[in-house]
Each structure stands twice: as structure tokens, then as C-alpha cells.
Amino acid sequence: MTETALRKPAREAAPEPVANTRRLHVMTWGCQMNEYDSARMADLLTPHGFGETERAAEADLVILNPCHIREHATEKVFSELGRLRQIKEGRAAEGRSTLIALAGCVAQAEGEEILRRAPYVDLVIGPQAYHRLPELIEARRAGGPVIATDFPAESKFDALPQNGKARRARRVSAFLTIQEGCDKFCTFCVVPYTRGAEVSRPARSILEEAKTLLAQGVREIVLLGQNVNAWEGEGLNGRPWRLARLIEELAKLDGLLRLRYTTSHPRDMDEALIAAHRDIPALAPFLHLPVQSGSDRVLAAMNRRHRAADYLRLIERLRAARPDLALSSDFIVGFPGETRADFEATLALAREVGFAQAYSFKYSARPGTPAAEASDQVPEAEKAARLAELQALLAESQRAFNQASVGARLPVLFTGPGRHPGQIAGRSPYQQAVHAEGPAALIGELAFVTIAAAEAHSLRGRLHPDAVS
């Protein structure tokens, strides 16, 4: 990766907020951490006079923040870049300049290559360099370097400012990244290469960010990390803390109604974290715990470092601690060498757990990862057939879970208006979307709803009379 020539201190004081004189358009896809990063970049640029716009054609600066996890990422980036090039040329003809910045995991993995094919890109900025964005933009304007994809030692989190107009604060639920990077090296995955080694933020800085969000009206915080439950940061007492301890501290904060964390790795689910699901009421009874496969042979080849039985045992322990815990997972079908019998083991595991929701993907060979080199790749048609079969099972499992909620009285955190006038929408403790007739004043509040019906992707319910008085 190219080292950037610029090496200014990252902790430069942000200038006083100025009127929004420049327009920023951010395009994001990929995981929630990418969404968090996009929000932080927008926040970071606010005091530099950038206001956000929905329209790329109006923007003085366009940031593309794409994902690299599965294939077609690069093609998608090029098709967006082609569109942006036209906008840039059109604006240039009118005497207006447009900066195009490529960020995220694609910038990290393929920035140089993309720049060769699309020299009109002005800035290539890796996920660890976002805090230097204002400085890099100014330097670029003055003819400075284009690429910033080194992994700097200083933490980008400490350098990113909080400000009152933060993009995230316009929402009831906000992401908060506490851990970044991955040391696990699953053989199919690009994340350890695009995001670098695991880094955990200190508890103090996380708690400060959480307090700022709550003061701005946020009511639910979703802790993020590529391996969020591997978080091991400096505690308030100066000693290392694990995630359960951090959650305990966050749960004490005024105004916090609900807490979640994602994505967890089964190997990092420690006893204290399991107990937190029993002991901490603010912690939602929902856990996204990717398993990828139900076959021990495939799990070993993936370097997941646990067996199917270990996963099932872990679910048992979690459910013993919190009987109503709803589970979600990620699956990959058609990993190199996966046989019909391996795939059936995955179906069996999915059936046994009964997931409330799940994501499933066809294996996608990613350049530079060990599994991409395997000679026994599964044919595309077979992958597609297995995916359809697994998805039918997972959809049925989700339907059964939602159906079982009918008649239940659930505390719903209302996050915004519903589909129709007079409706409001929110989330159940189990992450189900819930719609109900109710006043907008309840947005940002927890209120009890009796679930009347389960639709394909959401629940419909009636507010408990006490909620509206």
C-alpha cells in the first residue's frame, strides 16, 4: 500500500463551525461499520463548511464508501464512478469543481488499481485515515497526494470530533464503533486485509461518545465491531475490560433505553457476556451470531475454529441465561469443497436453532484470500440451488418466529413515522419492525404494543392504552 507523504498531527483542532457553503454527497454500501464511518465523515466535515445533499449533481465533494466483502464490488464502483465523471465534467463546464473521494474497504484493497483506470478520482482514502479527511482534501486541492491507505498507529476515533449537528443524532438509534479490524483470518474473508488488525477503543472515549449521542436524543445505541465481542479496551480503572463490563457501564447512562452489539464471533462469547443477557435489562434479547456452516469439515476449512456442536452448546447456554433470546446468523453456501452432506449439516443446524432472522450468501472467491486458491470450487449453479434451499428454510423460520409474536405484548422502541399517516414504526426487543397507530410524540420512546398480526417483514400491533395517555 502506498504511504501518504502527508504526516500532519491528527489532533488538529477543528475550526469553529461555519455556514454550510459546500455540498457533500456520501454514497455508502456494506456493513454497519461503513454506515458509521460515513456518518462520522459527514460529521467531521460539518465544521469545515460542508452540508450534506441527497443529490450527487449538486455536490462539491462526493465520497464513495463501498464494500469489498463479496464480488461485483469493483464493477459497481466503476459504474458509479462513470456516472460521477459525467457530473464532474458537466459541472466543470459551468466553472464548478467537484472532488471525488473513494473511501472504505474497496479503497484500501484496490485503490491504486482503481486510480489507474479512473484517474479523475481525486482522493483514495482507507478506513483508518478518515480523521485526516479535511486535511487531505485541502492538500489535494493544492495538488497534494491522492492516496491515503496506510494504517496509521494513532486511533482515528480519538481524532474525530463530536459536534452538535451530528448526522447520527437525527435518529433514535445510533451506531457506535468500539472495535475495528479482525485477527481471525477466516479463509474466505477480506476484512483482516481491508480493516487491519483488531483495535479496541478505550472505555472512556466510548462512554463519552455515548453520552454525546444520548444528549442529542439518541435512545438506542448499537455497539459495532467486526468482532465486537473481542473488544478488550482500557477500562475506567486503567485495567483491561471485556465487553460485558463496558455494557454494564453504558447501561447506567441516563436516557439509554436499549443497547445492542454486533457482529459477534462464537469464540469470543465469554461467560460474563452471556450473563449480561440475563442481568442487564437494557441489553436487547437479540444476538447476531454468524455460524457460516453446520459442517465441521467446512468450519475447519474456513478456519472458524469451532465445531457445529460448540455453536449449538453456546446457544443452549445463552438461552439458559435469557430464555427469550432471539438469534440471527450469517451463512455461506458453496464454500470450496462443500458437499451435499456438508450442506445438509448446515440445513440441520439452521432447523435446530430456529433463527429469528438470518443472512445467507453464495461463497464468493475474494482475491488474496486462501479459499480463493482452492481447486475444489463449487459450480455456480450448485451454489445458487443450495442458497435457494437454505433461504427457503430461513424464511420459514423467520415467519414462524414472527407468527409466534402474535398476541404478545412487547416493548417497542419507536424510531420514526410509519408507512401510513397516523402510524408510527419501531422495533421490538427482537429486532422485528413493528407498526402501530399512534402519536408522533412517542417517537424516541419505549411503549407497549400488543401484536395483532405478522406480515412478511413486519408486525402490526395496537398501542397499550397507557402508552398514549
Interface pattern 3-32 for ligand SAH (x via CB under 6 A): ------------------------------
Q: Are strands 123-125 and 61-65 parallel, antiparallel or unpaired?
A: unpaired
Q: Which of residues 93-112 bind ligand F3S (CB under 6 A)?
A: 104-105
Out of ligand SAH, ligand F3S, ligand SF4, none, what residue 279 binds, judged by CB under 5 to 8 A for its kind, is none
Cα–Cα distance measured from residue 247 to residue 291, given in angstroms and rounded to the nearest whole number: 23
**Neighbouring C-alpha atoms within 13 Å toward the C-beta of 58:** 12
Selection from 323, 324, 195, 214 nearest residue 263 by Cα: 195
84 binds ligand SF4 (CB under 6 A): no
- Binding positions for ligand SF4, 163-182, rule CB under 6 A: 182
Measured CA to CA, the distance from residue 290 to residue 286 in angstroms comes to 13
What does the block give as the cell for 384? 445458487
How many angstroms separate the Cα of 345 from the Cα of each of 7, 290, 319?
52, 15, 22
**189 counts as binding ligand SF4 under rule CB under 6 A:** yes
Considering the rule CB under 6 A, would residue 36 count as an interface residue with ligand SAH? no
- For cell 479463509, what's the residue? 187
Within 10 Å of residue 247's Cβ, how many Cβ atoms?
23
Distance of CA 325 to the CA centre of its chain: 21
Grid coordinates in use for 274?
Answer: 452471556
Name the residue among 463, 310, 329 with its Cα closest to residue 398.
Answer: 329
- Of 201, 249, 198, 205, the residue nearest 227 (C-alpha): 198
Report which of 330, 329, 228, 236 is spatially closest to residue 283, judged by C-alpha positions. 228
Residue 300 vs 406, nearer CB to ligand SAH: 300
Does the footprint of ligand SF4 cover residue 227 (CB under 6 A)? yes
Each residue 351-380 as x (binds ligand SAH by CB under 6 A) or -, in order, gives ----------x-xx-x--------------
Number of residues that bind ligand F3S (CB under 6 A): 14
Least Cβ distance, residue 180 to ligand SAH (angstroms)? 11
Identify the residue among 59, 107, 146, 189 touching ligand SAH (CB under 6 A). Answer: 189
In the complex, the smallest distance separating the C-beta of residue 67 from ligand SF4, rounded to whole angstroms, is 12
Instruction: Give the torsion sign (CA, 88, 92, 96, 98).
Output: positive
Instruction: Work out how close the CB of 42 gets to ligand F3S at its nearest, in angstroms, rounded to a whole number.
Output: 17
How many beta carbons lie within 10 A of that of residue 171, not counting itself? Answer: 19
Name the pairing type of β-strands 179-180 and 199-200.
antiparallel
Residue reference for cell 475495528: 180
Q: Are 401 and 356 in contact (CB under 8 A)?
A: yes
What is the Cα–Cα distance from 335 to 298, expressed in whole angstroms?
A: 7
From ligand SAH, ligand F3S, ligand SF4, none, which one binds at residue 68 (CB under 5 to 8 Å depending on kind)? ligand F3S
β-strands 232-234, 50-52 pairing: unpaired
Least distance (Å) from ligand F3S to the CB of residue 233?
19
Using the rule CB under 6 A, which residue among 34, 98, 264, 293 binds ligand F3S?
34
How far apart CA 187 and CA 344 sit, in angstroms, is 21
185 binding partner (options ligand SAH, ligand F3S, ligand SF4, none; Cβ < 5 to 8 Å by kind): ligand SF4
Contact 370, 187 (CB under 8 A): yes
We find the least distance from the C-beta atom of residue 77 to ligand F3S, in angstroms, to be 12
Using the minimum distance from each CB to ligand SF4, give the nearer residue, 70 or 464: 70
From residue 256 to residue 275, what is the string marking binding to ligand SF4 with x (rule CB under 6 A)? ---------x----------
Residue 33 binds which entry of ligand SF4, ligand F3S, ligand SAH, none, CB below 5-8 Å type-dependent: ligand F3S
Tell me: does residue 359 bind ligand SF4 (CB under 6 A).
no
Cβ nearer to ligand F3S, comparing 39 with 424: 39
Q: Which positions lie near ligand F3S, rule CB under 6 A?
A: 30-31, 33-34, 67-69, 104-105, 190-191, 194-195, 226
Q: Which positions lie near ligand SF4, rule CB under 6 A?
A: 182, 184-186, 189, 191-192, 226-227, 265
Q: Which positions lie near ligand SAH, rule CB under 6 A?
A: 69-70, 188-189, 191, 226-227, 263, 265, 290, 292, 330, 332, 361, 363-364, 366
